[in-house]
């Protein structure tokens, strides 16, 4: 995805005054956050209650921190070990959007605070805000943008959880867009009206698969928009008798849905991934950022592609990034550097993280990426040479010589890399890392006596 920072959407239809909202036909405001499985959760308040919600929040159970992917409450340890307690979900009022695809509703991201209004250590948006502040203290800021792949399935006579692709090949064919013409038009219009700027939209590789990319923004905005974009897709799909699956893997053996995460970093407005004399034109700090990501990649990916469905998606040869290496425009690389060119301009250089998907909490995913990259800069790392081939086709010895490892393939390996990595664990905070571990273990226990196809199916409609 080129970093199309010149792409802007129409001004989102915002406004927080209850009366203003009601006058435009809004009857409810849905406050949304993402849990530790990347699953959006919500509360809707009647429009007349929104002002009160902005002041005092709405009460929710703290146990959302330990909900697993199948809505099991893992009852972790204290203070999340009992059904007692309450936290407040506070709407981030200046992010409110009147939803183009749901005229009766407005949407707003939520922030979770303790019952007394103080910071709550399990709050994911705050984890990202901390990393953004840490970067700012070093004189750095970031742009981030998601590519969103998804499958569209017919929902008529819905018999549950089957996927019935809206269209079979050819991949990337314009006739694919014809098959979803009215939906595609509504989606582009609604994303624009909802303030989600899109770079491009296309029919992807697999039957029924599509993709659009969201233009880059500051990290918290990028994560908010990723959540809003899902709501926009679900609403548009439903309006056209379709269902969207964002699951990392929709059907065993097929191409998965990556939500590749592009980041670039700036000092005083200059993109540090271009204009330098390092590999592919990176500056020393830009190279250190990439090297930091590479050093901590397994722990980062435990956050950016954390589910069992993610593990099933990350296979060699699928452009999903199964090995720890970087390359210049190498689509098999977990870290693909998109360098600046005279045509696309210096500002567009970015690093794409491929092992990233819908089951990641978008705030935690970006926080983990930034934490690893900043540590690389603080430690003055230099990246190894880029790999321009597919090391999945190499002998084990050749990969070993280049220090290229397979990313974790089991929950135990994932958690091992995450929990023993001080940089990423401390970015999450001890409490949140512990809750994150609890839900991963709970998901693994759920899947233990089920076959792989059952497990894939169970993630299909969650995100």
331 contact choice in ligand GLU, Mg ion, none (CB below 5 to 8 Å, kind-dependent): ligand GLU
Whether omega for the bond prior to residue 135 falls within 30 degrees of 0, making it cis, is no
What tokens does 346 get?
């210096």
Q: Mark the segment that binds ligand GLU (CB under 6 A) among 19-27, 29-37, 251-259, 403-411.
A: 251-259
With binding defined as CB under 6 A, does residue 318 bind ligand GLU? Answer: yes
Q: Which residues pair with 353 in a beta bridge?
A: 261, 335
CB of 301 to ligand GLU, least distance (A): 12
With binding defined as CB under 5 A, does residue 285 bind Mg ion? Answer: no
With binding defined as CB under 6 A, does residue 319 bind ligand GLU? Answer: yes
Return the number of the residue (205 or 266) whose C-beta is nearest ligand GLU.
Answer: 205
CB of 312 to ligand GLU, least distance (A): 11
Q: Which residues pair with 213 in a beta bridge?
A: 147
243 contact choice in Mg ion, ligand GLU, none (CB below 5 to 8 Å, kind-dependent): none
Q: Which residues pair with 327 in a beta bridge?
A: 336
Return the number of the residue (254 or 442) whose C-beta is nearest ligand GLU.
Answer: 254
Binding string, residues 333-362; x marks residues near ligand GLU by CB under 6 A: ---------------------x--------
With binding defined as CB under 5 A, does residue 443 bind Mg ion? Answer: no
With binding defined as CB under 5 A, does residue 211 bind Mg ion? Answer: yes
Q: Mark the segment that binds ligand GLU (CB under 6 A) among 239-247, 252-260, 295-303, 423-431.
A: 252-260
With binding defined as CB under 6 A, does residue 256 bind ligand GLU? Answer: yes
Residue nearest to ligand GLU (CB): 258
What tokens does 342 get?
């005279």
Q: Mark the segment that binds Mg ion (CB under 5 A) among 54-62, 104-112, 207-215, 368-376.
A: 207-215
With binding defined as CB under 6 A, does residue 310 bind ligand GLU? Answer: no
Could you say which of 258, 287, 383, 386 contacts ligand GLU (CB under 6 A)?
258
With binding defined as CB under 6 A, does residue 255 bind ligand GLU? Answer: yes
CA distance 253 to 315: 10
With binding defined as CB under 6 A, does residue 38 bind ligand GLU? Answer: no
Could you say which of 149, 224, 390, 434 contacts ligand GLU (CB under 6 A)?
149
What tokens does 385 get?
């040479």
CB of 256 to ligand GLU, least distance (A): 4
Write the CA distances from 166 to 179, 188, 215, 261, 457, integer angstroms. Answer: 7, 18, 26, 26, 18
Return the number of the residue (210 or 319) whose C-beta is nearest ligand GLU.
Answer: 319
Return the number of the residue (67 or 463) whose C-beta is nearest ligand GLU.
Answer: 463
CB of 422 to ligand GLU, least distance (A): 29
CB of 324 to ligand GLU, least distance (A): 16
Could you say which of 37, 320, 324, 458 contacts ligand GLU (CB under 6 A)?
320
151 contact choice in Mg ion, ligand GLU, none (CB below 5 to 8 Å, kind-dependent): none
As to burial, measured by CB atoms within 10 angstroms (0-12 exposed, 13-18 middle, 19+ buried), residue 304 is buried
CA distance 260 to 218: 16
Could you say which of 56, 77, 331, 398 contacts ligand GLU (CB under 6 A)?
331
Return the number of the residue (1 or 462) whose C-beta is nearest Mg ion.
Answer: 1
319 contact choice in ligand GLU, Mg ion, none (CB below 5 to 8 Å, kind-dependent): ligand GLU
Return the number of the residue (150 or 326) whose C-beta is nearest Mg ion.
Answer: 150
Q: Which residues bind Mg ion (CB under 5 A)?
A: 211
Q: Which residues bind ligand GLU (CB under 6 A)?
A: 149, 255-256, 258, 313, 318-320, 331, 354
């Amino acid at each position: 995805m080129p970093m199309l920072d010149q792409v802007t959407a129409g001004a989102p239809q915002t406004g927080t005054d209850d009366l203003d909202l009601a006058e435009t036909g809004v009857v409810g405001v849905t406050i949304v956050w993402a849990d530790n499985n990347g699953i959006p959760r919500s509360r809707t308040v009647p429009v007349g209650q929104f002002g009160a919600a902005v002041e005092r929040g709405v009460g929710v159970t703290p146990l959302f921190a330990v909900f697993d992917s199948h809505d099991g409450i893992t009852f972790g340890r204290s203070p999340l070990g009992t059904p007692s307690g309450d936290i407040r979900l506070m709407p981030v009022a200046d992010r409110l959007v009147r939803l183009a695809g749901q005229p009766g509703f407005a949407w707003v991201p939520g922030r979770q605070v303790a019952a007394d209004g103080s910071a709550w250590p399990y709050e994911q948006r705050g984890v990202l805000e901390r990393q953004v502040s840490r970067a700012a203290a070093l004189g750095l800021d970031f742009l981030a943008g998601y590519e969103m792949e998804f499958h569209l399935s017919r929902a008529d006579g819905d018999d549950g959880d089957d996927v019935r692709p809206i269209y079979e090949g050819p991949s990337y064919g314009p006739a694919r867009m014809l098959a979803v013409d009215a939906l595609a038009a509504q989606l582009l219009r609604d994303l624009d009206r909802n303030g989600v700027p899109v770079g491009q939209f296309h029919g992807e590789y697999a039957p029924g698969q599509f993709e659009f990319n969201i233009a880059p923004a500051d990290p918290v905005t990028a994560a908010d928009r990723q959540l809003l974009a899902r709501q926009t897709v679900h609403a548009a799909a439903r309006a056209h008798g379709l269902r969207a699956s964002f699951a990392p893997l929709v059907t065993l053996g097929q191409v998965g849905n990556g939500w590749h995460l592009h980041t670039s970093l700036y000092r005083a407005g200059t993109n540090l991934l271009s204009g330098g004399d390092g590999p592919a034109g990176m500056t020393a700090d830009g190279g250190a950022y990439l090297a930091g990501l590479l050093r901590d990649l397994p722990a980062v990916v435990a956050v950016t592609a954390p589910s069992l469905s993610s593990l099933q998606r990350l296979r060699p040869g699928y452009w999903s990034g199964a090995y720890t290496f970087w390359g210049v425009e190498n689509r098999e690389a977990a870290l693909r550097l998109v360098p600046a060119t005279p045509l696309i301009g210096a500002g567009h250089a970015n690093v794409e993280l491929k092992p990233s998907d819908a089951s990641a909490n978008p705030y935690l995913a970006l926080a983990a990426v930034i934490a690893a990259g900043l540590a690389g800069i603080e430690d003055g790392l230099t990246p190894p040479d880029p790999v321009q081939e597919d090391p999945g086709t190499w002998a084990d010895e050749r990969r070993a010589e280049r220090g290229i490892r397979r990313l974790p393939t089991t929950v135990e390996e994932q958690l091992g890399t995450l929990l023993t990595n001080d940089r990423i664990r401390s970015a999450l905070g001890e409490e949140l890392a512990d809750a994150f571990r609890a839900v991963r273990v709970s998901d693994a226990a759920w899947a233990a006596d089920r076959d792989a196809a059952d497990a894939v199916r169970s993630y299909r409609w969650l995100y």
